[in-house]
Amino acid sequence: MRTILAVTVLAVCAAGLTGQDDKKYEKEGKFTAKFPSAPIQDTKSAGGLTLHIFLADYEKGKGGFLVIYSDLPADKLKAPTPDQVLDSGKKALEDDFKLKNVKAEPTAVGPKKYPGRTISGDREELNLRGQIVLVGNRLYQVYVFGPKDFVTGKEADDFLASFKITD
């Protein structure tokens, strides 16, 4: 599970995506988020999962606004509890993505109180802040990444606060 989270973040941070759409998303993914500019949408495979990726750039590649969702196979969810699935995100960012100072605090997301984690960490000039949320078998990852002043700024706060589950 933690490899899936790390591969997702690495794939998005390292690769360019194609295609444009509106600033507010999404019907099929059962979420909405207000991106500050038109996000790029892509679908990638990683760790046996299909990742649905929405990425808006910040200052020409210095960072970005990111929502990823993927449906976890039922067999991956049989043994672990939702807390174990979500806690693996912290370990993935530390071990696989090499983030330091990683914090992952339990949270309940939305009116239905879905289990989630608020996450932050850094590596050299890269800072990351956001949350992961488990809704049934669907895992959402919502992040801002880039320079520290951007990741802790109002635009990042507004984007993270705009994320809503619509199921």
Q: Residues in the chain, how many?
A: 167
The pLDDT of residue 149? 94
Residue 101: CB atoms within 10 Å: 10
Structure tokens at 25: 């998303």
Q: How far is CA 46 from CA 53, 105, 115, 155, 156, in A?
A: 12, 25, 23, 29, 26
- Checking if the pLDDT of 49 tops 90, the result is no
Q: How far is CA 101 from CA 60, 66, 68, 122, 123, in A?
A: 26, 21, 23, 6, 9
76-126 pLDDT per residue, tens:
767 678 888 888 878 888 887 788 999 999 999 999 999 999 999 999 889
The pLDDT of residue 20? 38
Segments in the chain forming alpha helices (H):
2-14, 74-78, 82-95, 148-151, 154-162
Does the structural domain 2-165 have CATH classification 3.40.1000.10? yes
Q: Give the residue, 7 or 76, on which the prediction is more confident.
A: 76
pLDDT category, 26, cuts 50, 70, 90? low
The pLDDT of residue 47? 80
| Average pLDDT of every residue of the chain | 83
- Checking if the pLDDT of 15 tops 80, the result is no
Sheet holding 31-34, edge to edge: 24-25, 31-34, 164-165
CA distance 122 to 21: 30
pLDDT category, 8, cuts 50, 70, 90? very low
pLDDT category, 46, cuts 50, 70, 90? confident
Flag the least confident range among 69-73, 82-86, 144-148. Answer: 82-86
Q: Average of pLDDT values for 8-35?
A: 58
